[in-house]
Homo-oligomer: A and B are copies of this chain.
Amino acid sequence: MNISAVAEAAGLPVKTVRYYSDIGLVPAPGRSSAGYRSYDDSAVRKLVFVRRAREFGFSVEECRELLGLYEDRHRSSADVKRIAAKRLEEIAEKQRELQSLHDELAHLVEACRGDDRPDCPIIDSLGNRYGGL
């Protein structure tokens, strides 16, 4: 399989597949006589794994770790669970921040008249308690 075929099969851009190969996240593929990268099904599976793990918020380094666990005959699900739980906690924290940000901004947008007059609660709230910028 050439790179574009494997990229499509894995649901990733060609550039990204090349990048993952370059950084050794997936093994370096074989090469055709012309130097084209040649991937097999195992590469597709690994790339799918990586894509989905990335969608789950795992960093590339964590993907590397997960791939390692996955391939390790002695992998323990405890290791995977620990990593996933840590990630989950971070996601929850991000959610809380995003929620408060959303609420506050929504409140401000609502309070903003949106006409041509210079009064604007958004700007006021960003720059206040100094009596103007």
Partner-B contacts on A (CB < 8 A): 41-42, 44-46, 48-49, 52-53, 55-57, 66-67, 69-71, 75-78, 80-82, 84-85, 87-88, 91-92, 94-95, 98-99, 101-102, 104-106, 108-109, 112-120, 122-123, 125-127, 130, 132-133
Chain B residues whose C-beta falls within 8 Å of the C-beta of A92 in the assembled complex: 102
- In the complex with contacts A66-B126, A101-B56, A45-B133 CB distance below 8 A: yes
- In the complex with contacts A95-B99, A133-B71, A81-B127 CB distance below 8 A: no
A-B residue pairs, 10 tightest by C-beta: A77-B120, A81-B114, A45-B130, A49-B127, A81-B112, A76-B116, A52-B126, A91-B102, A80-B120, A78-B114
- Bound complex: CA A77 to CA B70 (Å): 54
Chain B residues whose C-beta falls within 8 Å of the C-beta of A130 in the assembled complex: 41, 44-45, 48
| Distance from A89 Cβ to chain B, minimum over Cβ atoms (Å) | 10
- In the complex with contacts A99-B95, A104-B56, A127-B70, A112-B46 CB distance below 8 A: no
- Bound complex: CA A87 to CA B132 (Å): 24
Are A95 and B102 neighbours in the complex by a CB distance under 8 Å? yes
- Bound complex: CA A45 to CA B127 (Å): 7
Name A80's contact: one of B70, B82, B99, B122 (CB within 8 Å). B122
Are A55 and B88 neighbours in the complex by a CB distance under 8 Å? no
